[in-house]
Homo-oligomer: A and B are copies of this chain.
Amino acid sequence: MIKQGTGRVFAAFAFVWLIAAAPLAVAQDPLPSWNNGASKQAIVAFVARVTKAGTPDFVPVPQRIATFDNDGTLWVEQPIYTQFAFAFDRVKLLAAGHPEWKNTEPFASLIDGDIERALAGGEEALVQVLAATHAGMTTESYDRIAREWLKTKRDARFKREYSKLVYQPMLELLNYLRANGFKTFIVSGGGVEFIRAYAEEAYGIPPEQVIGSSGRLKYQMRGDVPELLKLPAVDVVNDKDGKVVSIQKVIGRRPIAAFGNSDGDLQMLEWTAAGKGARLALLVHHDDAAREWAYDRGSKIGGLDKALDAAIAKKWVVVSMKDDWNTILPK
């Protein structure tokens, strides 16, 4: 009897202990999709340094600014940028109202489904497509259309909605930084309104913390209702030097941590790393063809040359998707 009683008490204690320990165990590893290794250690060590009050590297909460590139850093960017997939779909959908497109490039090729031929026209062709699909409507109409597409359209390889082609380890990193008082921003070459259409739900990043490229807007009255019309004219190109300029214009403070994956992020990482005190500059290196894609030097999308050289020379963190991440996409 006594033995049985002790057993019961022990079992009860063990149960309570398990319940209590469970959240503790989770708290002990906020980055479960990151394998233990130099990259994860560098991230955790950096966060520990800047959050420890009373030490020289301590950074007050309002100055804990972290900026993230989007395509290829937070979500998949191959085989084409998702925003382009959206634009090409729009061309097909709008084709009925544009009979002239049948004989006009790049539209004719896009209607035929030949993206490569359409893109042979280079930047000019792209600007034409963006003007035809991203302008001539109000900001509210565009937002509705983009949200609908992002929620329903599935990509060919992973067979899931684009808004779920985000990297699980980066979601954990975003949460980990926010839990440590960081304000997380997206600083992307992509269109700001396209990213905003899914960023809050997918990343927990509100629209006012999304910085991207943008076209000109016109404020006008339709009857007595004001509206913002999207014009077919480029305003901000948020890439390379442009990322640093936008960070200053919109955030007004130099980040202490920056995350990218291509040469378009070089200046943002450089600017971040050059500030005083502890800094974290990190590149995601796509080296996992089996689970995602493998590309770097010379790639048309997400090309990584100069930024990889800089990362090696300056000892920035280079994340190997293959070795550092045990999971790529969320379950």
Contact = CB atoms under 8 A, between A and B. Distances in A.
Interface string A179-194: 0000100000000110
Interface in A246-266: 248-253
Contact of A226 (B214, B236, B267): B267
B208 A252 contact: yes
A210 interface: yes
Contact of A208 (B225, B235, B236, B251): B251
Which of A200, A210, A245, A270 has the most CB atoms of chain B within a 10 A radius of its CB? A245
Given A208-B183, A267-B226, A270-B226, A252 B219 contact: no
A267 B217 CA distance: 14
A109 interface: no
Contacts of A193: 252
A244 B216 CA distance: 12
Contacts of A65: 208
Interface in A161-209: 183, 192-193, 196, 200, 206-209
Nearest to A217: B245
A293 to B, nearest CB: 30
A209 B193 CA distance: 19
Nearest to A252: B207
Contacts of A271: 219, 226
B270 A241 contact: no
B214 A253 contact: no
Given A244-B226, A270-B226, A274-B226, A217 B249 contact: yes
A43 interface: no
Given A183-B208, A217-B249, A219-B245, 15 more contacts: A65-B208, A192-B252, A193-B252, A206-B253, A208-B209, A208-B253, A214-B249, A217-B248, A218-B241, A218-B245, A219-B241, A219-B244, A226-B267, A226-B274, A228-B244
Interface of A: 62, 65, 139, 183, 192-193, 196, 200, 206-210, 214, 217-219, 225-226, 228, 235-236, 241, 244-245, 248-253, 267, 270-271, 274
23 contacts: A62-B200, A62-B206, A65-B208, A183-B208, A192-B249, A192-B252, A196-B252, A206-B253, A207-B251, A208-B208, A208-B209, A208-B251, A208-B253, A210-B252, A214-B249, A218-B241, A219-B241, A219-B244, A219-B271, A225-B274, A228-B245, A228-B248, A235-B249
